[in-house]
Amino acid sequence: MKIIYSNKHSQHDPPYEIYDGRREPYAEKAERITSILRALKESGLTVFFPPKHFSIKHIHDIHQKEYVSFLRKRSAQLKQSQVLYPSYFIMDTYTPITNKTYTAAKTAVDVVLTGAKYLLQGEQTVYALCRPPGHHAGHKTMGGYCYFNNAAIAANYLSEHGKVAILDIDFHHGNGTQSIFYDRSDVFYISIHADPHIKFPYSSGFANEQGSDEGLGFNKNFPLPLETTNAQYMCVLKQTLKRIQVFNPSFLVISAGFDTYEKDPIGGFKLTIPFYEKISQEIFKLKLPALIVQEGGYNIEDLGKIALSFLKGIDRILKTQLRSKDNDSEFYKANQKTSKKTKKTPI
């Protein structure tokens, strides 16, 4: 499995967010990715691939040009210590701009597009370890710590080569991703998340949101109550995977948020660390070329352990599939030899 990573994500590190009118420590901090990197390196995964540079066109395919230009210019105008909450193009008070926000966000896009390109070149699974996250970013809005919608940009890029399913397993509904593909039938967005009646983003993620126009039926939400357990979650996950099988995509993009963890400070589910291995094993039974895009997850102490558990599940299922292919190949070769011998025998 290739892991794509750039340390430029750390250049975006606002000191605070605004919650209920008060300054609070910024939850989406650079240490999140440091935690994951440390766990991967300790497990022996030490080879990381740098992102390649991609044209801004791929961002413009998803985001309004005026919005992209605004983010680039306002970010560049700020001094190193400045933090800006703009008066427009923003949907909440959790998503400030700093002087390196654009650099980090653009690099995150390069990370996921590099991963997508590797899929097109034949890789079966790629992990885009990117930051800031993206699934709350809409066509012309930043929000929920997100600036550019990494998963949506990658899915749109892949959609030129076949149908794409986006499976969003973040604790919070990916309102930005849903809105971007809501009227499209070539990209199926399916999400398991906390009930938006009680958790961010509050305004979307309800079960009756199923797409519009050509996209009707290609958007599916599974809102779950707080305190959802491993067993309850697995039951719903299997339902989503059946729907993806019916859609029969060429590619799978996973918005991998790990804030579903039982100790996440802004979550509310009861999923345990070992359970993430079971989640990924179940997903990868689909046998689809898959791009894993890092989204949320805010328990810095355990985030690396969660990510490693998820990747272990993938490794386990891929090895099983590889052994199966090898056995099939040996069976094929044996039958070919038998067939050739049979042909030499007169009837």
Look up residue 6 and give its DSSP letter: -
C-alpha torsion 88→90→94→95, nearest 10: -90
Q: Please, are residues 4 and 50 in contact by the beta-carbon 8 Å criterion? A: yes
Q: Can you tell me the distance from the alpha carbon of 283 to that of 318, in angstroms, rounded to the nearest whole number? A: 11
Nearest to 201, CA basis, from 293, 266, 132, 256: 266
- DSSP-assigned letters across all residues of 54-110: --THHHHTTS-HHHHHHHHHHHHHS-TT--B--SSSBSSSS--B-TTHHHHHHHHHH
Nearest to 91 by CA among 180, 207, 183, 175: 175
Q: How far apart are CA 34 and CA 32, in angstroms?
A: 5
Which member of 136, 172, 173, 193 is catalytic? 136
- Known active-site residue 136: yes
d(CA 145, CA 134): 8
Residue owning tokens 């079960």: 207
Instruction: Tell the residue number behind the tokens 């029969």, with chain if given.
Output: 248
Residue partners of 292: CB distance under 8 A and separation at least 6: 115, 125, 126, 127, 128, 254, 256, 310, 314
How many Cα neighbours within 13 Å face the side chain of 96?
23
Residues 6 or more apart whose Cβ sits within 8 Å of residue 66? 140
Question: Is residue 22 within a helix (H) or strand (E), and if so which, with residue range?
Answer: strand 22-25
What is the residue-wise DSSP string for 294-311?
E-----HHHHHHHHHHHH
Active-site positions read 136
